[in-house]
Amino acid sequence: MYNKIMVPVDLEHVEKLEKALQTASELAKSYDVPVCYVAVTGGVPNRVAPSPEKFEVELNMFAREQADKYGVETECKSVHSTDVAVELDDKLLEAIEDVGADLVVMASHIPGVADKLHLISSNAAYMVKHSDVSILVVR
Amino acid sequence: MSNEIKQAEEAISEIEDLYDTDYEIGQDNIEKWGFDIHAPVFPTSAALIVLFVVGSLMFPESAKVGLEATRNWIQDVFDWMFLSAGNFFVLFCLLLIVLPVGKIRLGGEDAVPDFSVVSWFAMLFAAGMGIGLMFWSVAEPVGYFTEWFGTPLNTPGFTEESRSAAMGATMYHWGLHPWAIYGVVALSLAFFSFNKGLPLTIRSTFYPLLGDRVWGWPGHVIDTIAVLATIFGLATSLGLGAQQAASGFSFLFDIEGGLRTQVIVIVGVTAVALVSVVRGIDGGVKLLSNLNMIFALLLLVFVIFAGSLGGFFTNLGRTVSGYVEYILPLSNPMGREDDTFYHSWTIFFWAWWISWSPFVGMFIARVSRGRTIRQFLTAVLIVPVVFTSVWMSAFGGNGIDQAANGIGELADGIGDSTLALFQMLTHLPLTSITSFLAICLVLVFFVTSSDSGSLVIDSITSGGKTDAPVTQRVFWATAQGVIAAVLLMVGGSAALQALQAGAVSMGLPFTLILIAMCVSLSRGLYHERRLMQYNEILQQ
């Protein structure tokens, strides 16, 4: 039914992704398809890595760890952005086409006061609205 | 041979250890309610901002007297230090261009620039320089020529000699020196962040000198001063700029230029800045900078041709020869007798550039990954100087020609310095179109300043994170507009001028910070160069 599952990851907050990662892996196993982890990063150092090149190394390592942990085929893609906070949603949308995914499994934050006030936008909601592939939002 | 390799490996790990910090970017941050901010820099800065604003609103006159006296004292007592530091920064930058360290690429060997050369160059002017070039390109040289407020080296006005002195002195203030000041800060930030992996915040540039102590209170102090200088510099410029824009509107369109128009200008600029902030660097500040560059070039070409092409080339000759002739005497801090010019123009400008350097420097750093140090400094120093020479020759040269030939208001000297540009344009064809274009340029430069300023303050107050929620940039852009409007409405010009004097006074601590930054950067570049050499040995 599906050919590839894409999972957007924020390597700074992997602990919050656990459920989404597990869900994606189990789906991947049952359809026997690969999981592709996509992360968006800029040129400025962040907590994960001091440069985009080293970030890519970290992401590769993460993908291999996931493969070992769940026994699924994994790949990854690091997307460059000059302004991650703003471009995240659009870069992820582009990545769906680039990696050829037809299912996106992603974690969502728990809606709180900030959402009610429209202070922060939901990445998952944006993806659902603007992509034509299936999106599974894991809470 | 193997011995040599072993030595190289040891040396490499020794140098790498120097920059090996346990500090994780964002480790001191508070993540709550959709915010991601550094403690204590964010709360301290915010509290001090409120304190200063409320203080200057409650006692606008005494705040003005006190802070302006502080600024004047700083400028009188430390004049030699500002001037010498400025000279030192120029030599430092020129040296880095020619030394072998110029080969180091920001972001490492394989880093690719994020922006095209044209957009990058356009953005250099977006942060701090654009507005000034609009307002002063006519007023400053014409002011010297007509003996408005001091002349360089006391050169008598209205003479052939005073023409080249006026152009030379203006270039001195807008040429190599300000860009070297910005260049030092920008290069330090870019190098320690992109090459050494330290967070993009002012304190990181002192890592080679202070080590892990930069993550403690010395770093908090440096970052907080940078935030205060930036927000007050920007907010007061926006407030005073709104007054200038409003008087421009009333001069051009016969609109009442009072408080209401001024507040409308602030609200309008802030609203557009918010849209630009939300659209990010590519869709916001880069786009606006490119647009502004196109319109500025159109205006420039128009002024060159409409004035007189021959006159322009004569003036360009005067500007270049004046700059060469006067740069050394004007850089000399000893035995100056042109007190008004020296203190009210040169030292004021130097304190101003230096107090803006954390803001402009960090924005330039942010967009400069992937350039070599040589490319970077050439573009930040040489290219703007060439462009500014042409710009000043066209605008200032035309203004002086009008003043010398008794054409229009400029012949009577500078009345209102903010109107000088429009007074010059009035006596060229198509006035209504060109004046409108000029005022749009000014407003858009305010937008790009506000936008880039929000980006910079957000990066500093979130501990060097550049992917913190956009809401925070929205907060800082709004804060600038609100501070400007409240100061203007409640405290009037006095409150604005008070806080502006306070912001410019930050130039003094920052002069010392910048000198230390040069030392720190030299160490960092020396280490990087050695790393490159050892790596070459290993590759052989």
Got the DSSP string for B289-328?
Answer: HHHHHHHHHHHHHHHHHHH-HHHHHHHHHHHHHHHHHHHH
Pairing of strands B35-38, B29-32: antiparallel
The pLDDT of residue B290: 95
Going by C-alpha positions, the residue among B418, B498, B538, B517 that lies closest to residue B181 is B517
Q: What angle do CA B349, B387, B135 make, to 5 degrees?
A: 45
Query: Chain A residues with CB inside 8 Å of B108's CB?
Result: 51, 53
Q: Any CB–CB contact under 8 A between A3 and chain B?
A: no
Coil vs helix vs strand at A100: coil
User: Cβ atoms within 10 A of the Cβ of A13, count?
Assistant: 12
B28 Cα to chain A: minimum distance (Å): 12
**pLDDT confidence of A119, banded at 50, 70, 90?**
very low
Which residues is A15 bridged to in the sheet?
Answer: none
Is a pLDDT exceeding 80 seen at residue B130?
yes
The pLDDT of residue A114: 47
What is the 3 state secondary structure string of B453-507? HHHHHHHHHCCCCCCCCHHHHHHHHHHHHHHHHHHHHHHHHHHHHHHHHHHHHCH
Inter-chain CB proximity B281 and A83 less than 8 Å: yes
Average pLDDT (A78-105) is 91
Average pLDDT (B226-242) is 89
pLDDT digits (tens, 9 = 90+) for A11-42: 888 888 889 999 999 999 999 999 999 999 98
Inter-chain CB proximity A43 and B26 less than 8 Å: no
A29 Cα to chain B: minimum distance (Å): 34
Q: Would you call B11 exposed, middle or buried from its count of C-beta atoms within 10 A (0-12, 13-18, 19+)? A: middle
Q: What is the pTM of this model?
A: 0.94
Q: Any CB–CB contact under 8 A between B211 and chain A?
A: no
pLDDT digits (tens, 9 = 90+) for B264-301: 999 999 999 999 999 999 889 999 999 999 999 999 99
B196 Cα to chain A: minimum distance (Å): 7
The pLDDT of residue A121: 58
**pLDDT confidence of B131, banded at 50, 70, 90?**
confident
pLDDT digits (tens, 9 = 90+) for B440-452: 999 999 999 999 9
**Which residue of B466, B475, B478, B528 to mutate against A (max A Cβ within 10 Å)?**
B466
Q: Residue A83 corresponds to which tokens in the numbers above?
A: 């302004």
Strands (E), chain A: 5-8, 35-41, 74-80, 103-107, 134-138
**Cβ-contact B172, B87 below 8 angstroms:** no
Task: Give the CB-side neighbour count of residue B443, counting CA atoms within 13 A.
Answer: 20
Is a pLDDT exceeding 80 seen at residue B215?
yes
**Cβ-contact B346, B86 below 8 angstroms:** no
Q: How many residues does chain A have?
A: 139
Coil vs helix vs strand at A102: coil
- As a whole number of angstroms, the distance between CA A112 and CA A139 comes to 13
